[in-house]
Amino acid sequence: MGTVENARLVTPDGVLEGWLRVEDGRITALGPGPVPEPRGETVDAEGRWVLPGAIDIHVHGGAGAAFTDADPERARSIVEFNRSHGVTTVVGGLVAASPEDTLRQVAALAELADDGDLAGVYLEGPYIAKSRCGAHDPALLRDPDLEEFAAVLKAGRGHVRMITVAPELPGALDLIRAATAEGVVAAVGHTEATYDQARAAFDAGATVATHLFNAMRPLHHREPGPIAAALADERVTVELINDGVHLHPAIVGLAAAQAGPERVALITDAMAATGLGDGEYTLGKLRVRVENGNAVVVETGAIASSTIVLPEAISRAVHHVGLRLEDAARSASEVPARALGLTGVGSLVEGGRADLLVLDEDLSVAGVMHRGNWIRSL
């Protein structure tokens, strides 16, 4: 039991200058002004911002490990690394792999989801376009296969949360329908889809656009493609990699203005190099070189994931894009939670899980609480 007081709480209803109480890993009360009945340990936030813990629904690794390692302990180290930096909910992201490797990787991550360390598994492919493969090995890409997908779901034991599909591939719409019927979020990405093909995918049940603008047919005034289709569709949540490399701040601002704060999900798409600095690493089976924090595929020069942690995207959204902190915070918590159907997380509300991200005035991370326990104390 404990109380955080003298805080600027970022709630679904706006900023509340006040306090919140935590019991048994849940937020049991919050309100304005001084604490009416202090209970347990009281922590003075000293006027700092208190946000919901960040939620990264598209991340591949960190601290030298990758979810593709198919090693529960290495995967757990990624979760712990993120948690220490304020990302209290993580969905483990996989890249295109052989059918056998995919099943092995999904089964390993399902163990962590069983334990509650992961919020689920995300498959970025393998049913994506070779011409827009980005940092995926084109030799491992293939057309949608319902039997293979069913085997993946079985290996995931109910923990597969999302899969990215290129709508123009043969059988793509059938796979999108099959995914949504099983409660798996279908996303459109790594695609050459036309505007009409993307709209067909959304009509079939896809509700997310994978890292909008990146690895997809670009916006054109005579063929608007998947970007315009996603931004115009109120059913679609658009992912944005706000690391200053994948997208110019003006593009982030443009997308945020068009989609609105309820439909923008900030993600990292981060890889194993995150937290380690420059050097050569691997993403799946591809060699990736990191210089000054920028990751590129050695053989092709394509941008390969990012090396940021999600609170950095929040800070950049405010300082470089010009978004309100309340909107940036929502895009890194409430919106991704809602997009993937994650309940009990993403908002500072009574009954919600006590996951807190505390930021200093410059929006650097000052403290982190996970399930009511301070991971990084004030």
Query: Which sequence positions are flagged as catalytic?
Result: 269
Flag whether 211 is marked binding.
Answer: yes
Q: Is 47 exposed, middle or buried (0-12, 13-18, 19+ CB in 10 A)?
A: exposed
58 is in an annotated binding site: no
- CA 302/CA 288 separation, integer angstroms: 9
Tokens of 45: 């936030």
| 269/369 Cα distance (integer angstroms) | 23
How far apart CA 281 and CA 297 sit, in angstroms, is: 10
Q: Are 267 and 316 in contact (CB under 8 A)?
A: no
How far are the Cα atoms of 67, 111, 208 from residue 163, in angstroms, in the given order? Answer: 15, 19, 10
Q: Which residues contact 365 (CB under 8 A, 6 or more apart)?
A: 85, 86, 311, 357, 358, 359, 376
Dist CA 53 CA 42 (whole Å): 19
Residue 46: CB atoms within 10 A of its CB come to 12
Asked if 272 contacts 60 with a C-beta cutoff of 8 angstroms, the reply is yes
Contact by Cβ (8 Å): 272, 283: yes
The verdict on whether residue 190 carries a ligand-binding annotation is yes
- Tell me the DSSP string of 227-268: HHHHHH-TT-EEEEE-SSSSS-HHHHHHHHHHH-TTSEEEE-
Please, what is the Cα angle at 270 between 108 and 157, to 5 degrees?
Answer: 25
Residues annotated in a binding site: 124, 190, 211
Point out the annotated binding site for Zn(2+). 124, 190, 211
